[in-house]
Structure 1
Amino acid sequence: MELNLKQFNETADILKALAHPVRLCIVKGLLQKGACNVGYMQECLDLPQSTVSQHLQKLRNFGIVATERNGLEVIYTIADDRVKQIIQIFFGEDPS
């Protein structure tokens, strides 16, 4: 077995990004809803928009979420299928 440190580092980074209750909640919510904007997430999480945006930026940096601009609105979706599987394993439900 060839040790592929790049793959291990990438996986560890994804797990670290998910290892926060707010980010985990954001990902689970996005999987259930399919796509939404930061305003909707802010209402669901009952957190300031700036806090939600910071967590979304971290998720985006690791390729967990993707964005699509619709005028002034930014729509977030899950970009990594592995994350869908992780959520399904931990929460025991089909996220899609």
Structure 2
Amino acid sequence: MDNNFKQFNEAADMLKALAHPVRLCIVKGLLTKGRCNVGHMQECLDLPQSTVSQHLQKLRNCGIVTTERNGLEVNYTIADNRVKQLIQVFFREV
């Protein structure tokens, strides 16, 4: 048995971060749209901006999404290509 569990911990952390319906929806939307800001996500999800921001922070902390600043606007994009493969398996699309 492999004593180096780092790769397993990283994979488990990613799966934990994705294991929420709102975060799955955010990731699927980003894969479809390419990039998006919090305001647009808030409207699509019909959730308060603070809630969407908390979910994005969790995804960002796990390296799933990254940000790109354009003036005052912050756009989010998918940072890890493995996420696209997972979403394709879960939803058979994108």
Same fold (TM over 0.5): yes
The aligned counterpart of 1:15 is 15
Residue 41 of structure 1 is matched in structure 2 by: 41
- Once residues 25 and 75 of structure 1 are traced to their aligned partners in structure 2, the CA distance between those partners, rounded to angstroms, is 16
Letter paired with 1:67: T
The TM-score normalised by the length of structure 1 is 0.95
Structure 1: which 5+ runs fail to align?
A: none
The two structures, once aligned, show a CA RMSD in angstroms of 0.9
Alignment coverage as a number of residue pairs: 94
Q: For 1:51, what is the secondary structure of its paired residue?
A: helix
* Structure 1 Cα separation of the partners of residues 2 and 56 of structure 2: 34
Q: Please report how far the alpha carbon of residue 5 of structure 1 lies from its aligned counterpart in structure 2 after TM superposition.
A: 0.3
State the Cα distance separating 1:4 from its structure 2 match.
Answer: 2.8
CA-CA distance at 1:3 after TM superposition:
4.0
2 CA distance for matches of 1:83 and 1:91?
12
- Runs of 4 or more, structure 1, over 6 Å off, are none
Structure 2: stretches of 5+ with no match in the other structure: none
Percent of aligned positions that are identical:
83
Report the Cα offset of residue 18 of structure 1.
Answer: 0.1
2:28 maps to what in 1?
28
TM-score (norm. length: structure 2): 0.97
Counting only pairs closer than 5 Å after superposition, residues 1-96 of structure 1 correspond to structure 2 as 2-93=2-93, 95=94
Partner letter of residue 9 of structure 1? N
